[in-house]
Amino acid sequence: MIRILTVEDEVIIRTALKRLLEKNGYQVDEAGSVKEALDSYDLGDFDLIISDLRLPGAPGTDLIAKSGDTPVLIMTSYASMRSAVDSMKMGAVDYIAKPFDHEEMLNTVQRITELHQLHREDDIIEISDTTFIELPKMVGSCAPMKRVYKHVKKSAPTDCNILIHGETGTGKELIARAIHQLSHRTNREVICVNCAAIPETLIESELFGYEKGAFTGANTNRIGLIEAANHGTLFLDEIGELPLEAQARLLRFLQEGEIRRIGSVETQEVDVRVIAATHRNLKALSEKGEFRQDLFYRLNVMQITLPPLRDRGKDVLEIASNFLQKTCDKMNKPEAHFTPKAIQALTTYHWPGNIRELENVIERAVILSDSEEIDYDLFDIDMELVQLETLDGDMEVSAARAANNTLKDSNEEGLSLEDYFQRFILEHQDQMSETDLARKLGVSRKCLWERRQRLGIPRKKAKTSGA
């Protein structure tokens, strides 16, 4: 059973969190401060530590340096996002803003503990500094990427076929080139083929070549891409888009190590290392007859799975900073840096386009920026998917968070959520309608009315003109 330590001085929050986690199958221990956690437990015995940022005596971030390999998830109020970002720089695996809804907490805990289990089960080795020098484009040190580095390092010196799986934009071609660079074929060609970009009628002639007169328009002999990669590496991107007829010929090449040009009666031996990549589930496609099962097993000698950017934790900041520096250098612009809100946007956005989208976002921001500060409003992303402090400095609470949680939250002045509602309504009801107040607070008009009743705040009567 996964074991979690919660460190929180507010008894109400600690109890509610313990109840939520235990209800979903986790073993939970508690502490009210950093000192109590260190005195009562061996932090290495846990799969995850969930700690509030502000604790009596010492901040929750003090647990990061003492937790060893155990990941630390920091809880913080919306008004303390700057500190949350600093926590990630100190080594926290992630942060979660309070008040949080139950689903968000459970999803975050599941993601972190699964990655931690993966780290333990695979006995991931540390990659030497020389490896990173040899592969300067590979950035990130989260647990799933360490697993990728391990598999690259172990498989590269061999000649086994490799299947790289990952969403679009996760860097599959970069990994293929890294494998080639670390192999004994590094001084030979690496030929990259996007199977989805070649028309179905041309794919076989592109891969295998053809003899003069083999078909209309074949005016000369032409070598194929497989032959061009002889003694080197052939990278077949989007292999799942390859037509079944071409799959059959590719299978023979993998089995026999020989090819035959279209229109030729002679075969020739070739020595080619094959790396394939896809974002599709080839095993499922093979079971439906949409991809040859025998070809799938030939390619899948070694599978390397690339994590999506949203699952790479603090790697996002490292990659974004790397892109920022390179883009500034390329455009001859002064060294720039991200604002706190830009960092929040980078670390809370879902990144459906993965690393490719992140690179494009950073390049666009650098082009549009008029100063050395890169703020979030320069990012061309869906801001509805980003958690940010409101621009006037107040804390904005969504309806889901307000309705699903009874946990206390604090802003800069230490106000409870109820205090915050009361202060906000009293300060703004003269200038704002009930609809505007409800929208600003992130609740419905009915919820606003109910809170007025509970807090004893009558609606401001409309002024009437004298007779």
| For the ranges 289-293, 345-349, 401-405, the one whose mean pLDDT is highest | 289-293
d(CA 443, CA 173): 46
Task: Report, as an integer, the average pLDDT of 100-117.
Answer: 81
Residues 6+ apart with CB under 8 A from 354: 167, 168, 169, 170, 171, 308, 309
Confidence of residue 118 (pLDDT cuts 50, 70, 90): low
pTM of the complete model beyond 0.85: no
Mean pLDDT of the chain: 81
- At 265, which amino acid appears? V
Is the pLDDT at 410 greater than 50? The verdict is no
Nearest residue to 397 via CA among 426, 418, 366: 418
pLDDT of residue 51: 93
Q: What is the pLDDT of residues 213-246, one digit of tens each?
A: 888 888 888 899 999 999 999 999 999 999 998 9
Radius of gyration of the chain (CA): 28
Rounded CA separation 351/41 (Å): 37
Question: Among the listed ranges 91-95, 367-371, 378-382, which one has the minimum average pLDDT value?
Answer: 91-95
Confidence of residue 314 (pLDDT cuts 50, 70, 90): confident
Q: How many CB atoms lie within 10 A of CB 1?
A: 7
CATH architecture of 3-121: 3-Layer(aba) Sandwich (3.40)
For range 17-21, the mean pLDDT: 92
Instruction: Please report, as a single letter, which amino acid is at residue 373.
Output: E
Mean pLDDT, residues 174-179: 93
Q: Is the peptide bond before 99 cis (omega within 30 degrees of 0)?
A: yes
pLDDT of amino acid 408: 39
Average pLDDT over residues 320-341: 91
CATH code of the region 310-381: 1.10.8.60
* β-bridge mates for residue 276, sequence order: 163, 236
What's the mean pLDDT in 63-68?
Answer: 88
Spell out the domain ranges in the chain. 3-121, 143-306, 310-381
What is the structure's pLDDT at 40?
93
**Do the domains 143-306 and 3-121 match in fold?**
yes
Q: Find the mean pLDDT for residues 17-40.
A: 93
- CATH for 143-306, options being 1.10.287.1260, 1.10.150.120, 3.30.70.980, 3.40.50.300: 3.40.50.300
Q: What is the pLDDT of residue 137?
A: 63
**Percent helix, strand, coil in the chain (nearest 5)?**
45, 15, 40
Strands 273-278 and 162-165: parallel
Mean pLDDT confidence for 12-34? 92
Percent of the chain with pLDDT over 90: 43
As to burial, measured by CB atoms within 10 angstroms (0-12 exposed, 13-18 middle, 19+ buried), residue 259 is: buried
pLDDT exceeds 90 at position 75: no
- What is d(CA 52, CA 100) in angstroms, rounded to the nearest whole number? 13
User: Where does the pLDDT of residue 4 fall: very low under 50, low under 70, confident under 90, or very high at 90 and above?
Assistant: very high
With 80 as the cut, is the pLDDT of residue 103 above it?
Answer: yes
